[in-house]
Amino acid sequence: MADALQNYIDGKWVDAVEGGRFDVFDPSTGEVIATAADSQPADVDRAVEAARRTFDEGTWWPGTPARERGSILLRAADIVRRERDRLAALESRDVGKPIGEAGDDIDEVAFMFEYYGGWATKIAGESQHVDADAMFMVWKEPVGVAVGITPWNYPMMMAAQKVAPAIAAGCAFILKPPEQTPLTCLELPKILEEAGLPAGVFHVLTGFGETAGAPLTTHPGVDKVGFTGSREVGKIIMRSGADTLKRVTLELGGKSPNIVFADADFPAAIEGSANGVFWNQGEICSAGTRVFVDGGIYDDAVNELVDRAASVKVGDPQDETTTMGPLISKEQQERVESYLEVGASEARLAGQGATPDDPKLASGYFVPPTVFADVDNSARIAREEIFGPVMAVIPFRSVDDVVAMANDNDYGLAAAIWTNDVKKAMRTAQAIRAGIVWINDTQPAPTEMPWGGYKQSGVGRELGKHGLDDFLEEKAVYLNLAD
Ligand code: NAI
Ligand code: MG
């Protein structure tokens, strides 16, 4: 029988109040691997009450010294490292991502705890004299009760990059993991409890967006919502936070340009361009799905990219040699397949990889890695986020031409630029309206570096010091020193 997983509220494992459950699938086989608590507004109320009480009673903040909050996070990093292989296997099974990529995710989760563990003791305000008789201080205080609503493509990472800075800052925190992939998120309470986090600080509620997520975004007891997911839900969350004026940060999708200039290191640019679309099955918010290639090298590049698609090994994610697993769900598979039809009518299907013929994987949600060439930048496959291994290759003539096309999209999350000409790289980077620009690389997201989008790709930043600041308020304290 599949594991029956519970919510973690106020330091206890509990079923949903109404007792509902939902199935969690292995996307490579369609098999049910667990059931999880189907939380409803009553469960949200319990979690928010507990988090609110913990925060308001003051034993956590300011009662727990910063060095203790930091030590808890440093111990959590060690526990994640100790459990690395088990967590990677769980993540790979739940998401369908190749086991090697899942291991990289878990390594970064450990580092996130370590990184924000280091920050806890460096949260400091400032002071300034106004004149001989007056001064003020600026105190950094936690925003209070913070909520994280997270997606299924990097479940443990997307949770950790919110939980770790929240704990460093002294917030109480409620996590609503994705309904598709709750498994590693439900490991977090065990890790943090073992690391010494007091009961009541961290809570996890599983369930669906409309029933478990939405009530968190309107609840008067919640001060901040950090969301990663689709642009559509991001807009809903911004609206639903308006009545109580919550601090809302949004990490949304993208349709990121990947620009290959004729003077680039060609093999590196090809490999990077392919990885930027095919890693993690293309289920990456910052995937470089619009591959712009200089007209002079365009035909060679398309041929090479098709070779890359054909050489992707699509198969069982737990097999070390697999480089692409299934998509997350039947729904996502159908969504991506519908885009393959749209693409065939709008552009030229240049080539595709294979899906596995292993009968064990016959019910898995696989789609072939696909390259469309001669795509117009206004085509649907060049405008809309597909969230699957689908590349649109678009020719360009000049820097101005490619910058105009790159910016002609509502999204503005990331961009990759491949060239050996430093001036051209910097000029292009400056002209592009995106929160993240990689030069001669694609997709690195070190925890130290801020992450977030321009335009409709989001509001606010995660990771780095910026990701900590979003969990802090500033209190100005004015002091009259006159006799
Ligand atoms: P989604 O945006 O619906 O789900 C993300 C999270 O939000 C989940 O935890 C979900 O339960 C929650 N949620 C959904 N509706 C909500 C509501 N009304 N109030 C509060 N929380 C809510 O994303 P979904 O449906 O899983 O994927 C659809 C598309 O979104 C994908 O095909 C992709 O294009 C995009 N996406 C982008 C991601 C990114 O990293 N930027 C991650 C996941 C999806
Ligand atoms: Mg949805």
Cα Rg, the chain, nearest whole Å: 23
Residue 139 β-bridge partners: 475
The burial class, CB within 10 Å (0-12 / 13-18 / 19+), for 428 is buried
Residue nearest to atom 36 of ligand 1 (CA): 230
- Active-site position among 91, 179, 251, 462: 251
CA 28 to centroid of ligand 2, rounded, Å: 20
Instruction: For residues 353 and 366, give the distance between their C-alpha atoms in angstroms, rounded to a whole number.
Output: 11
Could you identify the residue written with the tokens 């001060």? 223
Please tell me the distance from the alpha carbon of residue 114 to that of residue 64, in angstroms, as a whole number. Answer: 18
Could you tell me which of 290, 252, 161 has the C-alpha nearest to residue 452? Answer: 252
Closest CA to 148 of 268, 228, 265: 228
pLDDT at 228 (0 to 100):
98
Strands 31-37 and 21-26: antiparallel
- Residue pair 316/356 in contact (Cβ under 8 Å)? The answer is yes
CA pair distance 287, 277, nearest whole angstrom: 5
HSE at residue 383, side-chain half, CA atoms within 13 A, is: 10
Counted residue by residue, the chain has a size of 483
Q: Which of 230, 457, 462 for mutating ligand 1's site (highest number of atoms within 8 Å of CB)?
A: 230
Q: What number of CA atoms fall less than 13 Å from residue 393's CA on the CB side?
A: 27
Cα of 152 vs centre of ligand 1, distance in Å, is 8
pLDDT of 152 reads 98
> What is this structure's pTM?
0.98
Instruction: For residue 298, give both structure tokens.
Output: 């365009």
Asked if residue 252 lies in contact with residue 457, where contact means CB atoms within 8 angstroms, the answer is yes
Ligand nearest to the CA of 253: 1
- pLDDT at position 477: 98
Catalytic status, residue 251: yes
pLDDT at 287: 98
| Per-residue pLDDT, 1 | 59
The three-state DSSP-derived secondary structure of the chain is: CCEECCEEECCEEECCCCCCEEEEEECCCCEEEEEEECCCHHHHHHHHHHHHHHHHHCCCCCCCCHHHHHHHHHHHHHHHHHCHHHHHHHHHHHHCCCHHHHHHHHHHHHHHHHHHHHHHCCCCCEEEEEECCEEEEEEEEECCEEEEECCCCCHHHHHHHHHHHHHHHCCEEEEECCCCCCCCHHHHHHHHHHCCCCCCCEEECCCCHHHHHHHHHHCCCCCEEEEECCHHHHHHHHHHCCCCCCEEEEECCCCCEEEECCCCCHHHHHHHHHHHHHHHHHCCCCCCCEEEEEHHHHHHHHHHHHHHHHHCCECCCCCCCCCECCCCCHHHHHHHHHHHHHHHHHCEEEEECCCCCCHHHCCCCCCCCEEEECCCCCCHHHHCCCCCCEEEEEEECCHHHHHHHHHCCCEECEEEEECCCHHHHHHHHHHCCCCEEEECCCCCCCCCCCECCEECCEECCECHHHHHHCCEEEEEEEEECCC
Distance 395 CA to ligand 1 centre (A): 32
**Dihedral-angle region of residue 369 (phi above 0 means left; psi in -120 to 50 means alpha; beta otherwise):** beta
Q: What is the pLDDT of residue 2?
A: 79
Q: Residues lining ligand 1, CB < 6 A? A: 149-153, 176, 178-179, 208-210, 213-214, 217, 228-230, 233, 236-237, 252-253, 285, 332, 385, 387
As given in the structure block, the two tokens for residue 70 are 């930091």
Which tokens is 73 given?
């996070």
Question: Ligand 2 centre and the CA of 417: distance in Å?
Answer: 31
Residue having the nearest C-alpha atom to atom 40 of ligand 1: 285
Residues facing 225 on adjacent strands: 147, 248
The rounded distance, in Å, linking the Cα atoms of 313 and 336 is 19
Each of the 483 residues of the chain gets a pLDDT tens digit; together they read 579 999 999 999 999 999 999 999 999 999 999 999 999 999 999 999 999 999 999 999 999 999 999 999 999 999 999 999 999 999 999 999 999 999 999 999 999 999 999 999 999 999 999 999 999 999 999 999 999 999 999 999 999 999 999 999 999 999 999 999 999 999 999 999 999 999 999 999 999 999 999 999 999 999 999 999 999 999 999 999 999 999 999 999 999 999 999 999 999 999 999 999 999 999 999 999 999 999 999 999 999 999 999 999 999 999 999 999 999 999 999 999 999 999 999 999 999 999 999 999 999 999 999 999 999 999 999 999 999 999 999 999 999 999 999 999 999 999 999 999 999 999 999 999 999 999 999 999 999 999 999 999 999 999 999 999 999 999 999 999 999
